[in-house]
Structure 1
Amino acid sequence: MRFKSREHAAQQLIEQLSPYCVNQNPLVLGVPRGAVPMTRMIADALAGELDVVLVRKLSHPDQPEFAIGAVDESGNTFLAEWAADVDPQFVEAEKQRQLTVLRGRRARYTPWREPIDPIDRIVIIVDDGIATGSTMTAAFRAVRAKKPKKLIGAVAVASLDAARAMVHECDAMVCLNVSADFFAVGQFFEDFTQVSEQDVIAALRKSNASAPAVA
């Protein structure tokens, strides 16, 4: 299955997520940057609140595109099994680099408020696609620690291995396409235009009545 765009995938996710969210005011969290416009569509359609869950992959020292794990904005770290042979000093340095990025993003994305508390709420975490699962695992665990009522994952596409792993990290998983022939998320979209930080900020401001007007 291929999607015309992220918006096309979001519309299909809305249909499958609706039964979980009737009169529930879900908290819908996007993984920046690519998933945030999708997340806004889903939050609006389900009468929910929009925020972001800030996590960053930890890159392999020799293959930067390959994730050895991920870190959330509180500093909690998930390391994949294949990270065991990576120098711990490199891992710690990479963690600190990514934490700096995350703290900067939070300051830019929602400077008018604190992150929305997920305690005792239905929470949906949205991403456009999952390759290794490291980032989504960190996102699930970061939110799970804050005691949501129910934790749901929503993605357009995932690799077969990642999809199998994710079902153990959440209460329900909605994935439109699970592929054993997975090379990159973009291969499943006709239009996979990069989402900018300004796009993310605009989506968050428009979905939050307490946000100040955009200058």
Structure 2
Amino acid sequence: MPSRPPEFPDRAAAGRRLGEALADRVHGDAIVYAIPRGGTLVALEVARALDAPLDLALVRKIGAPGNPEVALAAVIDGSHPRTIINEDIVRLTGATADYLERERVSALAEIERRRRLYFEDHERLDPAGRVAVLVDDGLATGATARAAVAGLRAQGVRRVVLAIPVAPRALAATFRHEVDDLICLLEPQPFRSVGEAYADFHQVDDAEVIACLAASRA
């Protein structure tokens, strides 16, 4: 079966389309939360469209032993960091408790590195009582987004809106029961990868994340 042409030229284009779709569905005091790194380029355009501040949901995926792209858990930043475990994937991969703990510690260290690098002396926004618009460049397993949703809820947000350009149809259907609203522009069937939806799906680096945050503050 021939592959379908990419739906989005790049992440910024996907973000602009998401912003248009969200314009009539997000009301009130909103904060746009990007899942870095790739989601930041999408989220900047969403924040611009909604005239809302941009922040980051600092989440780290824990990949399966020998197959890091398969997410068996994710760790979310916060005063009490949370670990969301996909028990089905853990059983399938045979990941041990020791492996999970080592990877959790490593993930927390990387989250702390990113916090210092991305925010320096900038004060983080308080999401309590506000609408959180959570943005990534796409969902594959949903582990990272699920952890981010849990982290935002723990901080007392009033409403969680998940905005993504692309996700598997079944996963999007599941998330519609886990968040207050879901915007997903593309639900391909069959789903192969997030990157397939983009003509430009380059590896986003720290400098691009910092530039997006600086642009949003300006």
Does the TM-score normalized on the shorter chain lie above 0.5?
yes
Which digits, 9 at most, give the CA deviation of each residue in 1:101-127, with x for residues without a partner?
Answer: 111001100112243111111110001
Give CA deviations for 1:139-188 in whole Å, capped at 9, x if unaligned: 11100111212110000000123212212221000000112322221111
CA deviations on 1:75-106 (whole Å, 9 max, x unpaired) are 20111132144211110111111111111001
Q: Percent identity?
A: 34
Aligned pairs for 1:103-118 (under 5 A) are 103-118=112-127
Q: In structure 2, which of residues 64, 72, 82 is the aligned counterpart of residue 76 of structure 1? A: 82
Q: 1:39-67 CA deviation, whole Å, 9 max, x = no partner?
A: 11111221101000010111111312211
Aligned partner of residue 183 in structure 2, secondary structure: strand
Alignment length (residue pairs): 208
Question: In the alignment, is residue 41 of structure 1 matched against residue 45 of structure 2?
Answer: yes
Give the stretch that moved more between structures: 172-181 or 13-22: 13-22
2:63 matched to 1:56?
no
Runs of 4 or more above 3 Å deviation: none
Distance 2:185 2:215 in 1: 27
**Contact 1:25 1:47 (C-alpha < 8 Å) held by counterparts:** no
Larger mean CA deviation between 150-159 and 8-17 belongs to: 8-17
Q: Distance in 1 between matches of 2:20 and 2:48?
A: 13
Over aligned residues, Cα RMSD in angstroms? 1.4
Report the Cα distance in structure 2 between the residues aligned to 1:21 and 1:64, rounded to whole angstroms.
Answer: 35
TM-score w.r.t. the length of structure 1 is 0.91
- C-alpha displacement at 1:194, in angstroms? 2.2
CA positional deviation for 1:71: 0.6
CA contact (8 A) 1:141 1:169 kept: no
TM-score, length basis structure 2 = 0.90
8 Å CA contact 1:131, 1:159 repeated in 2: yes
Q: Where does residue 164 of structure 2 map in the other structure? A: 155
* 2:177 maps to amino acid: H
Unaligned runs of 5+ residues in structure 2 are 1-5
- Runs of 5+ consecutive residues of structure 1 not aligned to the other structure: 210-215
2:102 is aligned to: 93
How far off its partner does 1:20 sit?
A: 2.4
